[in-house]
Structure 1
């Protein structure tokens, strides 16, 4: 039981510290570079290099922010579950 409570407390702490929030999403603007976005959201959960662009995701499947960079600058961004 004690282990379960410790695990639950750790998960709540991690969730509470998430930078994937609507407030931070609203700080993202077209034209920002990746470093500016990372200053807001931290490191991306995953990035996929494509031929002409890079798609990065912060968060998980149910709650996330996705940003597309072309030439190192934000061109598109979207949110899910915020």
Structure 2
């Protein structure tokens, strides 16, 4: 195996291991959890929207994601799809 191929393979493994959108992190979510604590666990959300104190944020992409609804700055409910 060439050095270049080995470097590319190592990078892919590293990036996969760093993905915070996974079943283990999902299992740490709890209703009432502060948004700041969610962002420490999952990082900054991919997308957020909301109004009147209710917001919905998503981490990930269309195939693998965690979606969380917040009331104020606390988790109201959450769901996930494609988590490993």
| Bin of the TM-score, shorter chain as denominator length | 0.7 to 0.9
Distance 1:29 1:18 in 2: 20
Q: CA deviation at 1:81?
A: 0.5
Distance 2:7 2:47 in 1: 28
Q: CA deviation at 1:49?
A: 1.9
Distance 2:81 2:69 in 1: 15
Which entry has the higher C-alpha Rg, 1 or 2?
Answer: 2
TM-score, length-normalised on structure 2?
0.79
Distance 1:50 1:9 in 2: 43
**Cα distance change of structure 1 residues 66 and 11 upon mapping to structure 2, 3 Å threshold:** same
Corresponding residue for residue 30 of structure 2: 29
| Unmatched 5+ stretches in structure 1 | none
| Unmatched 5+ stretches in structure 2 | none
TM-score, length-normalised on structure 1?
0.81
